[in-house]
Amino acid sequence: MFAAVITPEILAAIAREYRQGRVLQIGTTDLDAGRAVTWSMGAIAASGAPGALELFRKIMVASTSIPGAVSPVMIDVDVDGKHFQEMHVDGGVIAQVFLYPPRSLMEWRRATGKPLHRELHVYVTRNGKLEPGGPE
């Protein structure tokens, strides 16, 4: 399903927006390390790296993979010349909402060459209730 929607053209559009200073981040949970991971999807889209489209899609699938209902997504990682895989699932396992990591300002400056001097607008997608209550 993601392959039909996240096309090379969509990836290019996200890369263009990233180069103009827009930030798109997705959160997953690395089950092996037991930690939240925030992915800079714009940086991945703009990287021009081989496999960027596949990685982009994998991260999107992982971010929707609810443990026990959907299999974790294995993401290939190379560190210090060693190859291994990390098991990623929905970021909500660790944090329901992540907002404005400090590196966003660094990404803005890197992408535009300028400090941020404008109003910020943040859009958060959360799958769940904002208040506790009975069954839906």
50-73: pLDDT as tens digits: 999 999 999 999 998 888 888 899
Instruction: Indicate the domain borders of the chain.
Output: 2-112
- Exposure of 43 in the CB half-sphere (CA atoms within 13 A): 12
Q: Among all chains, which residue has been given the structure tokens 């069954």?
A: 135
Question: What's the token pair of residue 123?
Answer: 């859009």
Q: In the beta sheet, which residues pair with residue 13? A: none
pTM: 0.72
Residue partners of 32: CB distance under 8 A and separation at least 6: 86, 87
pLDDT tens-digit profile of 74-126? 999 888 999 999 999 988 777 666 665 556 666 767 777 777 666 666 676 66
Report which of 106, 104, 95, 96 is spatially closest to residue 122, judged by C-alpha positions.
104
Q: So what's the pLDDT on residue 89? A: 93
> Band of the pLDDT at 127, cuts 50, 70, 90?
low
